[in-house]
Amino acid sequence: MGVMKIFYSATSPYVRKCLVAAHELGLRERIELVPSAPHPVNRDQTVVARNPLGKIPTLITDDGAILYDSRVVCEYLNELGRGQLLPVAGPARFLVLVEQSLADGMLDAAVLVRYETAARPEQLRWRQWIDGQTEKVSSGLAEIERRATGFKERIDIGTISIGCSLGYLDLRMESLGWRGKYPAAAAWFEEFGARDSMLATRPPR
């Protein structure tokens, strides 16, 4: 069995999703972390050489195939590890795929807020844009709150994606105070976030 490589940043929630999946599938030791510096303007050319979008995660498999984005990487890892993170077919499959889309959509909005406040020059920042993206995050949280009691002990791409999105809110949007507003989601995340896979991939503050 060969070694795979993944271009990563320690604070990327999309990379974290892949690494959590790898932990849960028993594949983490087969993945080498390759540090990268993705940026919406100053793109990391080392990543661009493998992925024209210049985004992470970008995975290089042990036979040299290049895979992106996180959804593709997680599906590959699940197949490689003969896992159950994605049901093969039927309503259960579409349930977890929708939850993954919900979590990724929240992350997309949260990352745009991060870029607007940390990467864009202050005189060019657009307050209404920040508010609009933040509202998407809040709407997503309300939906997670509605679904949270049904998560129970599930470990799949839906719950992993949601767990990583909530972890990113703790890291980058702490001012939202989401835990106090969405108690069912917070209670679920308290347990899910204590899993070995989540602790091992927790981003530095």
Q: Indicate whether 58 and 98 sit together in one domain.
A: no
What band does 130 get if pLDDT is binned at 50, 70 and 90? very high
- Residue 204 in any domain: the answer is no
- Residue 170 in any domain: the answer is yes
SS3 content of the chain, % helix, strand, coil (to 5): 60, 5, 30
- The DSSP line for 89-141 is SSHHHHHHHHHHHHHHHHHHHHHHHHHHHHTS-GGG--HHHHHHHHHHHHHHH
CATH for 59: 3.40.30.10
| Of the candidates 68, 59, 71, the residue with the CA atom closest to the CA atom of residue 27 | 59
- 110 and 174 in contact (C-beta within 8 Å)? no
Alpha carbons within 13 A on the beta-carbon side of 6: 28
- Residue 31 in any domain: the answer is yes
| Of the candidates 108, 146, 113, 110, the residue with the CA atom closest to the CA atom of residue 128 | 113
Provide the mean pLDDT of the chain.
Answer: 95
CATH for 189: 1.20.1050.10
> Mean of the pLDDT values across residues 40-57?
94
Question: What local confidence, expressed as pLDDT, does residue 40 receive?
Answer: 83
Residue 135 lies in domain: 91-195
Question: What local confidence, expressed as pLDDT, does residue 158 receive?
Answer: 98
Q: Work out how many domains the chain is built from and give that number.
A: 2
Q: Indicate whether 75 and 95 sit together in one domain.
A: no
**pTM for the complete prediction?**
0.95
Of 31, 48, 80, the residue at which a domain comes to its end is: 80
What band does 196 get if pLDDT is binned at 50, 70 and 90? very high
Question: What local confidence, expressed as pLDDT, does residue 114 receive?
Answer: 93
